[in-house]
A = this chain, B = another copy of it.
Amino acid sequence: MSAEISVLTKNQEMVLDTLNQAKGPMSAYAILDELRREGFRAPPQVYRALDKLMQGGLVHRLESLNAFVACSHGACHKAGLVAFAICDKCGAVSEFSDEAVTKSLTNWISKNQFRNTKTTIEIRGDCPQCAAA
């Protein structure tokens, strides 16, 4: 059905590991720089791995940041739409999937007969900790 990844290639694994070890989102070039020591040489190596990982739901792209994060759920098999709260102060990203949000948005989509393939929901601002400070 949906595009699963059966086994990760070496490059895909290295990119995924890098994102998993990262504290926050990373740009493709930041990933590349990390992986130069492992032999990576050029952007396409990173972008190709990212594409596959995103297809498999293992990695998400943050559109408003042009950056990437590992899926917090390991692989994203959540029923609903995935959303992100991004703190502009500390850079923390919370991935969440809220039933009410999913319902209201899918409701709009079906009411308007739109055939949805991808949804981007990103909240930018200050996380509770940074908002308090």
Contacts and interface: CB of A to CB of B under 8 A. Distances in A.
Interface of A: 63-64, 83, 85, 88, 94, 96, 98, 100-101, 103-105, 107-109, 112-128, 131
Contacts of A127: 114
A114 B85 contact: yes
Given A101-B101, A104-B104, A108-B96, A131 B118 contact: no
Most buried by B among A120, A126, A128: A120
Which 3 A-B residue pairs are closest in the complex by CB-CB distance?
A: A100-B104, A115-B131, A63-B63
A51 to B, nearest CB: 15
B85 A120 contact: no
A120 B88 CA distance: 14
